Amino acid sequence: MGTGALEELGAAAAIALLQRGALTAEALVRACLDRIGRDEPRIHAWAWLDPDQAVAAARAIDAAGRRPPLFGLPVGIKDIIDTADAPTECGTLLYRGRRPEKDAACVAALRAAGGLVLGKTVTTELAFFAPGPTRNPRNPAHTPGGSSSGSAAAVADAMVPAALGTQTAGSVIRPAAYCGVVGFKPSHDLLSLQGVHPFAPSLDTLGVFVRSVVDVAPLLTALGAPVEVMELPRPPRIGLWRSAQWSRATPAMQARVEEVASQLVRAGAMVQEVEPLPDEAAVAEGQGLIMAVEAARTFEALRKTSSSSLSLQLRTLLDRGAAASPDEVGVAKERAGRAWTAATRLLAKLDVLLTPSAADEAPEGLTSTGDPVFNRVVTLLGFPAISLPAGTGLSGLPLGVQLVGAPRGEAELLAVAAWVEARLR
């Protein structure tokens, strides 16, 4: 296999070759670094890289007598996730040069499983909406999404076969859709967030970016949530969830979701329309309120001592959270509870819900990371979700469709997602 093809391997395919000895970790890392050297000046996906350190780590894995299950697979790490051998600066000058004493639990788990930290990927400022320098690999004049912008872009550009991100509103699903890769957000609290800089703890969720559904399982297993994706015994039962946010999607995005639904029906799936959840628009607004309140607590010290160094977007959110009343938060949580019950009942009869990953293609310009309008409710409820590439929009940029599963239903969601992915291809 020529070097030109190595960096384009998906995680599962790379692991299979590494396991057989048909590929070395060093060769794969060097191929990734070559791609980074070519494209990083245009994409700006990386906050920190040490090529010599990465190559040395790969050689050590290749030389080990017993190699653990990832066999030296390179992984990008979002720069809000602590790494003992690299800075974690969280996309802000306020943390410039910050060096954690130890790895986050997820990084330690990856290393123990034979994963290789290739580098730290760019995040937006403190994982909120103020953009970093990263550009969309499909068209650098467009945003890659946020806040896991570097992770999504690095996987989309074949700089690395897999990367970690986090989602508090839509920061895995949306950038995955914008960049044309697979983004997976598991159930809330499935994966440890120890050593991941918090934003809103009841919402923060660790996720992964990969190139295909089959790549998700080995990453989840390495991260401490073993999952085996079985073949479906029957075609899936899918709920077409237009949601209360449906009008926020462009006509092209609406049409694409409907086309996907029709395509899956022709392939044998049962697809039925489902009603919006109770008070769904208010539930989405409640996610923003709860996020603001928890972020105000997380960043209370920064708000008091370094407010002028924070972006207007973040200051506005923190001020909103600090001003919110307990009654407002209580109402938002009550509505979320009713929506959780309704969604759980729906998913007792259906395998997944189908909805847009984002309102449209990635917006043009780099001053905004886009709108998480189709992600807020799912994140607030803590359900697992996956974004699958689903063709292109009017500007030729990727569109994504989102599948949502039941809480702790990761294996079932991935099985349906693999079935859907095969039909969309």
What residues are labeled active site? 78, 147, 171
Is the distance from CB of 203 to CB of 317 less than 8 angstroms?
no
Within 10 angstroms of residue 337's Cβ, the number of other Cβ atoms is 12
**Torsion of Cα atoms, 359 then 360 then 363 then 369, to 10°:** 40
E strand residue ranges, 349-424? 352-356, 385-392, 398-404
Is the distance from CB of 191 to CB of 106 less than 8 angstroms?
yes
Cα separation, 64 vs 374, whole angstroms: 45
Cα separation, 258 vs 261, whole angstroms: 5
Q: Residue 8 contacts by C-beta under 8 Å, 6 or more apart in sequence?
A: 158
CA 416 to the chain's CA centroid? 18
Q: How many helices (H) and strands (E) does the chain have?
A: 15, 11
